[in-house]
A and B are shown apart, each in its own frame.
Chain A
Amino acid sequence: MKIPMLSLGAGLIFWGWQTGMWIFAIPMAIIIEGSRLISWRWDFSNADVRRIANLSLIILIFLFIFLVIQNPTFYFIYTLLQWLPVVSFPLLATQTYSLEEKIDVTTLFLLFNEGNFEINKRYTINISYFYLAICILAASNANIGNISFYIGMFVLSAIALWSLRSKRFSPMLWLCFILTAGTMGFIGQLGLHQLHVNLEDQVATWYSNGNEQQTNSLKKQTNIGDIGVLKRSNEIVLRVATENKKSSARILREATFNKYKGSMWVAAKPEFIAVESEKDGTTWRLGNKSANSSKITISANLRSNQGLLTLPDGTFKIDELPVSRMEKNKYGTVKVTKKIDAITYQIYFNNNLSFDNPPIEEDLQIPNQEKLAINQILRQLNIQGKSPQEIVNLVDKFFNQNFTYSLQLAGKNNYSTALSRFLLQTRSGHCEYFATATTLLLRAAGIPARYAVGYSVHEFSPLENQYIVRSRHAHAWTMVYLNNKWQVLDTTPADWTNIEDAAASKLGFISDLWSLFNFKLRYIIGSKDLKYGWWLIFPLILILMWKFGGKKDVRRLSIKRILPKSIAKSELNRNDSEFYLIEKALNELGLTRHSSESLKNWIKRLKEDSIPSDLIDDMIPIVELYYRERFDPEGIKETEKTMLNSYIQLWLDKYCRVLK
Chain B
Amino acid sequence: MAMAPVHIPLFYYLIVSAILFALGTIGVIVRRNAIIMFMCIELMLNAVNLSLVAFSRYLSDIGGQLMVIFVMAVAAAEVAVGLGIIVSIFRNRESINIDTLDVMKG
Are A and B co-members of a single complex? Answer: no
Interface residues of B (CB under 8 A from A): none
Interface residues of A (CB under 8 A from B): none
